């Protein structure tokens, strides 16, 4: 399996990719992964690659990701060339505008959403902010999206497996919130 997790620095994409990798390793799979992060500490494009089986390089080649999880529509669109023809994308539709778009408006959300909706692959789109509000924290978009992906059956990881990983990896005081976020994701209405 090849996974691409993408979003904007600060959205929690790296933790999401670590949770996926951790689950796969726990199951006994050999995993390679990598992150591409620019110079920006926050607010930059972030792409995490996760690969299993006989992969030698940690980077997913274009056109070979089975699953793409996009935390932000423009970043998801940027990574669409990675997605396999029969791949599945799980995308939150809420934009994060870069600081440059306050100086000059260069973010056309409608165009990007239309592009994503018209893609030939299976697209599972959700309102990530709404899911976070339901869970009661703006910081759990990552686990909500993992819930959407695991619940859909396309992630290759079950909700039970992901719950077990949350238990292993998260501090106890954050566990309830994240388990709730996972379930909210799994039950989320698609847009």
Between 55 and 184, CB nearer to another protein: 55
Quick check: 71 and 7 in contact, CB under 8 A? yes
Q: Which residues of 68-84 are buried (b: 16+ CB within 10 A; e: fewer)?
A: bbbbbbbbbbebbebbb
The span from the CA of 126 to the CA of 191, in Å, is: 6
Contacting another protein (CB under 8 A), which of 26, 27, 53, 111?
111
Contacting another protein (CB under 8 A), which of 26, 53, 61, 133?
61
Contacting another protein (CB under 8 A), which of 58, 152, 161, 174?
58
Establish if 39 lies at the interface with another protein (CB under 8 A): yes
Binding-site size for another protein (CB under 8 A) equals 46
Region binding another protein by CB under 8 A among candidate stretches 110-118, 125-133, 152-160, 164-172: 110-118
The three-state DSSP-derived secondary structure of the chain is CEEEEEEECCCCHHHHHHHHHHHHHHCCCCCEEEEEECCCCCCCEEEEEEECCCCCCCCCCCCCEEEEEECCHHHHHHHHHHEEEEEEEEEECCCCCCCHHHHCCCCCHHHHHHHHHCCCCEEEEECHHHHHHHHCCCCCHHHHHHHHHHHHCCCCCCHHHHHHHHHHHCCHHHHHHHHHHHHHHHCCCCC
Region binding another protein by CB under 8 A among candidate stretches 37-45, 126-134, 156-164, 173-181: 37-45
Establish if 133 lies at the interface with another protein (CB under 8 A): no
Q: Binders of another protein among 134-173, rule CB under 8 A?
A: 138
Contacting another protein (CB under 8 A), which of 77, 90, 124, 188?
77
Establish if 22 lies at the interface with another protein (CB under 8 A): no
Smallest gap, in angstroms, from Cβ of residue 110 to another protein?
10
Establish if 115 lies at the interface with another protein (CB under 8 A): yes
Catalog residues that contact another protein under the rule CB under 8 A.
8, 21, 25, 29-35, 38-45, 55-63, 74, 77-78, 80-81, 97-103, 106-108, 111-112, 115, 138
């Amino acid at each position: 399996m090849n996974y691409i997790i993408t979003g904007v620095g600060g959205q929690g994409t790296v933790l999401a990719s670590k949770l996926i990798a951790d689950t796969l390793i726990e199951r006994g799979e050999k995993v390679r992964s990598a992150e591409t992060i620019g110079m920006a500490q926050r607010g930059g494009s972030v792409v995490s690659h996760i690969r299993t089986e006989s992969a030698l390089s940690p980077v997913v080649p274009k056109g070979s990701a089975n699953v793409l999880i996009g935390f932000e529509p423009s970043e998801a669109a940027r990574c669409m060339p990675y997605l396999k023809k029969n791949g599945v994308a799980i995308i939150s539709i809420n934009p994060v505008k870069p600081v440059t778009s306050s100086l000059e408006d260069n973010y056309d959300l409608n165009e990007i959403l239309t592009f994503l909706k018209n893609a030939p692959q299976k697209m599972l789109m959700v309102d990530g902010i709404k899911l976070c509000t339901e869970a009661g924290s703006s910081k759990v978009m990552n686990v909500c999206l993992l819930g959407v992906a695991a619940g859909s059956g396309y992630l290759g990881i079950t909700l039970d497996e992901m719950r077990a990983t949350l238990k292993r990896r998260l501090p106890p005081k954050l566990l309830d919130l994240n388990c709730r976020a996972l379930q909210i994701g799994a039950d989320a209405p698609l847009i």
